[in-house]
Amino acid sequence: MATPICSISLLSVFLLLFSLEKGYAVEENEATKSYLHIIKVNSLLPTTACNHSSKVSNSLSLEVVHRHGPCIGIVNQEKGADAPSNMEIFLRDQNRVDSIHARLSSRGMFPEKQATTLPVQSGASIGAGDYVVTVGLGTPKKEFTLIFDTGSDITWTQCEPCVKTCYKQKEPRLNPSTSTSYKNISCSSALCKLVASEGSQSCSSSTCLYQVQYGDGSYSIGFFATETLTLSSSNVFKNFLFGCGQQNNGLFGGAAGLLGLGRTKLALPSQTAKTYKKLFSYCLPASSSSKGYLSLGGQVSKSVKFTPLSADFDSTPFYGLDITGLSVGGRKLSIDESAFSAGTVIDSGTVITRLSPTAYSELSSAFQNLMTDYPSTSGYSIFDTCYDFSKYDTVRIPKVGVTFKGGVEMDIDVSGILYPVNGLKKVCLAFAGNDDDSDTSIFGNVQQRTYQVVYDGAKGRVGFAPGGCS
């Protein structure tokens, strides 16, 4: 079915008038290219075929697949394991957001309320929309699929003999008794105190224990230990601090544990700082049928534009940024700077970006004003701006941009603007509002898709470059 002419008229006229207002000497189709995404509606839906042509960053290529995606063989899937519904994904996502806000409040922040590349692929079924990489642990090395999380510090995996409870995972669990490099941390060691930076620690006899719990209720408890971490044949780290889980439960969807990429001394960037200088980057793919990468160290491309880390979050595991503005259809929105005063956390584990109610309201209103020729429909879970595209072959949607401190402008990839929750009958604006303007905003992984996102801890900055997965 051809797209009705009336469906693009208001938006095209608006963009043309806006171009003339700003003095842009452009044709209507040129304005359309500048401020619109023209997409086939079927491209919004998940695919069932694996894109084997996906590219990774460089050097090391370790295949990583979505636990429930099209690139994994049926022999590796758990019998009866189903991907969570969209409602479950958003419920878990809100739990994670609430957990982040609670952790920040508990710290008194807001009392008013040699490059190594590990390919990654979308893991929407793992936790709340997280992503996974494969690393080696032990001597001899055994490979484990771990969720990587910029909002967590401690790395852990399920271990034998699993004295309490363990969930099903893709690979066999780590068996410390068969590894010549495994060592428990003593309670008298100063290293034992590091565990408190992520969760809580206690002791069993003279052995240090760790305990971590996540926003969705998932948890891991076990021995705090050291082990050999292998990222490639030339990138091997002895005495890597990690958790050997003996009581684990939650929504990890077959992943063997978690790889912590937070900011404290216990996190991977700090433990490998001599090699990688606290520098890592990733690109999250546009869909679950494609692959991205996680890179550690390496050179920073000149195309990366950096914004400074916010000092307000220095005492937390989180990477804090400052959003200074939003744009829709190429036009900057009139939002008072106070709407961004609570700061922003960039988080690989949060699915949908959360904005202050004031900022989100302006974004949603501007988006709706440019989408009036498409039929709107009822909201869904955390979404309130949704459309029915079931009678269209193509749609034209306004571009959405985010500006960070230092004038760093980021045009959200088209895959990060809309989220289909019920086929094409309900496709929603992929942003949501916090409860209050005093709540920290969170820049989620859907909005980070296809960008190279660079974390430079040594220089206190985070950068973005488009086209990062290709």
Structure confidence at residue 197 (pLDDT): 56
Structure confidence at residue 16 (pLDDT): 46
Please list, in sequence order, all residues whose beta carbon lies within 8 angstroms of the beta carbon of residue 74, skipping any fewer than 6 positions away: none
377 and 237: one domain? no
Partnered with residue 400 across adjacent β-strands are 328
Look up the domain containing 427 and give its range: 301-465
Residue for token pair 């408890």: 221
216 or 119: which leads in pLDDT: 216
Picking from 297, 232, 291, the residue whose alpha carbon sits closest to that of residue 268 is 297
Catalytic residue ranges: 149, 347
287 and 310: one domain? no
Asked if the structure places residue 162 within a domain, the reply is: yes
In Å, the largest CA–CA distance within the chain is 76
Asked if the structure places residue 43 within a domain, the reply is: no
349 and 285: one domain? no
Q: What is the pTM for the complete model shown?
A: 0.88
Measured distance CA(232)–CA(62) in Å, rounded:
9
Alpha carbon of residue 452 to chain centroid: 12
235 and 131: one domain? yes
Asked if the structure places residue 236 within a domain, the reply is: yes
Measured distance CA(230)–CA(233) in Å, rounded:
7
Please check the confidence at residue 70 and state whether its pLDDT lies above 80. no
262 and 342: one domain? no
Measured distance CA(76)–CA(337) in Å, rounded:
50
Cα dist from 400 to 20, 35, 429, 447, whole Å = 20, 9, 10, 10
CATH number, residue 398: 2.40.70.10
Structure confidence at residue 198 (pLDDT): 57
Span 9-36, average pLDDT: 50
Span 351-378, average pLDDT: 97
What is the tens place of the pLDDT at every residue in 401-438?
999 999 999 999 999 999 999 999 999 999 999 999 99
Structure confidence at residue 107 (pLDDT): 59
Contact 461, 282 (CB under 8 A): no
Asked if the structure places residue 10 within a domain, the reply is: no
Of 243, 276, 296, which one is at a domain's C-terminal end?
Answer: 296
The per-type count for the chain, helices as H runs and strands as E runs, is: 7, 30
Please check the confidence at residue 120 and state whether its pLDDT lies above 90. no
Please check the confidence at residue 33 and state whether its pLDDT lies above 90. no
95 and 198: one domain? yes
Give CA angle at 349 (253, 117), nearest 5°: 85
Q: Measured between alpha carbons, how far apart are the two ends of the chain, in Å? A: 32
Contact 60, 117 (CB under 8 A): yes
Asked if the structure places residue 4 within a domain, the reply is: no
What is the tens place of the pLDDT at every residue in 157-213?
999 999 999 999 889 999 999 999 999 999 999 899 888 655 566 888 889 999 988
Of 255, 278, 296, which one is at a domain's C-terminal end?
Answer: 296
250 and 386: one domain? no
Average pLDDT score over the chain: 83
Asked if the structure places residue 23 within a domain, the reply is: no
Token pair of 391, please? 């009678």
333 and 266: one domain? no
Domain count, the chain: 2
Asked if the structure places residue 17 within a domain, the reply is: no
276 and 312: one domain? no
Measured distance CA(35)–CA(11) in Å, rounded:
10
Task: Please count the CA atoms within 13 angstroms of the CA of 350 that sit on its side-chain side.
Answer: 29
Report, in angstroms and rounded to the nearest whole number, the Rg of the chain calculated over CA atoms: 23
Structure confidence at residue 314 (pLDDT): 92
DSSP assignment of 194-227: GGGGTSEEEEETTEEEEEEE-TTS-EEEEEEEEE
308 and 290: one domain? no
Partnered with residue 237 across adjacent β-strands are 229
292 and 349: one domain? no
Of 296, 316, 349, which one is at a domain's C-terminal end?
Answer: 296
Please tell me which of 81-85, 91-95, 264-268, 357-361 the model is most confident about, judged by mean pLDDT. 357-361
The band of 32, judged by pLDDT with boundaries at 50, 70 and 90, is low
Asked if the structure places residue 3 within a domain, the reply is: no
Structure confidence at residue 11 (pLDDT): 55
DSSP assignment of 4-19: PTHHHHHHHHHHHHHH
244 and 169: one domain? yes
Please check the confidence at residue 19 and state whether its pLDDT lies above 50. no
